[in-house]
Amino acid sequence: MNKRSLKDLLYEQVARIGKSLASPKRLELVELLAQGEKSVETLASQAGIDMRLASAHLKALREARLVETRREGKYIYYRLSGQDVSQLWVALREVAEEHLVELRVALEQIAAQPGTLVSESRESLLEKARQGEVVVIDVRPASEFNAGHLPFARSLPLDELEQRLADLPADRTIVAYCRGPFCLMSDEAVQLLRARGFTAMKISDGVSEWAAVGLPIETSAE
């Protein structure tokens, strides 16, 4: 093989990753899988697509070796093939936010409510949670919390939040988070908590963003 052919082959192999991610729904599936292993049925439901389309997208990701599978009875479960895939998603999103004004405008709409976002550093928030000065709640499904969550966070899934308000102290700030900057569950949680008289804010980070900068992630036994 001559040098030109070899170089073409190298770029072609890297391009397989880019091609596999060149779909909004595949990016969403990667973000969902960054929360933990999920069945095809769960992924289809959470991504708002039918099973056939979900399977086709997952096949493309698997062909690029970005996801792996296991079978349990009649169900097929998918997971990311490595933590680096989650980091790739975070890096790709951050580059897009840096260079695409349209994305920044859309994100500003999410953060439009004054005082909703926690502005301090991750390290400062971690220390406040450690000291009990704030209460951090994870409003994702419990299975995602078990797979990985921020240190000192409590699992309080959004669909259980209103029934479990008594679990939260009324005299401390509640800080909610979910799957990352594109996730709206934490916004809903903050709105609900404030309507019930709590001091509540959110952070845009999810576990992927936390892990991408080398901060600790904890897991829980189911």
Q: If you search the block for the tokens 């060149």, which residue do you land on?
A: 22
Tell me which of 26 and 106 has the higher pLDDT. Answer: 26
Give 109's pLDDT tier (boundaries 50, 70, 90): confident
Q: Which of 21, 88, 178, 211 is catalytic?
A: 178
User: pLDDT for 50-78, tens place per residue?
Assistant: 999 999 999 999 999 999 999 999 999 99
Chain Cα centroid distance, residue 71: 24
Assign residue 201 a region (left: φ > 0; alpha: ψ between -120 and 50; beta: otherwise).
Answer: beta
The per-residue pLDDT for 221 is: 64
Q: If you search the block for the tokens 């091609």, which residue do you land on?
A: 19
Q: If you search the block for the tokens 């189911």, which residue do you land on?
A: 222
DSSP state string for 30-49: HHHHTT--EEHHHHHHHHT-
Please give the average per-residue pLDDT across 88-101, as a whole number. 96
Cα–Cα distance for residue pair 146/138, rounded to 1 Å: 10
Give 120's pLDDT tier (boundaries 50, 70, 90): confident
183 is catalytic: no
Burial class for 84, CB neighbours closer than 10 Å (0-12, 13-18, 19+)? exposed
The closest of 64, 25, 58, 66 to 41, measured between CA atoms, is 58
Cβ–Cβ under 8 Å, residues 149 and 137:
no
DSSP state string for 109-131: HHT-STT-B--S-HHHHHHHHHH
Cα–Cα distance for residue pair 133/117, rounded to 1 Å: 17
User: pLDDT for 131-175, tens place per residue?
Assistant: 999 999 999 999 999 999 999 999 999 999 999 999 999 999 999
